[in-house]
Amino acid sequence: MTTPAPDPARARFAMLMAVRISAVLMVMGGMLIASDRFPSIAPPLAQWLGYAMMAIGFLELVIIVPMLHRRWRSPRDGDAQ
């Protein structure tokens, strides 16, 4: 018996979900840091760090995820190859 070849769609789906979850966690972590929930980070630095993390997470969610989705989509009938 031969083992079936692994489905690349399963790995791509897992990667998309991992990127989405990491983006959401980065935004939420940035919100926590910007709201001074961590006393070990100085307040002016905490706000800038939190805002930067939120911006990076949001851009990852809005730009990177759709880009990967378009790149990895299955070809449809009539699509140029």
In a domain, 67, yes or no: yes
In a domain, 36, yes or no: no
* pTM: predicted TM-score of the whole model, two decimal places: 0.78
In the structure, how many helices (H) and strands (E) does the chain have?
A: 3, 0
Q: How many domains does the chain have?
A: 1
For residue 20, the Cα-to-chain-centroid distance in whole angstroms is 4
SS3 76: coil
Domain enclosing residue 53, as ranges: 44-71
What pLDDT tens digit does each residue of the chain (81 aa) get? 678 878 888 889 999 999 999 999 999 999 999 998 888 888 888 899 999 999 999 999 999 999 998 998 877 766 665
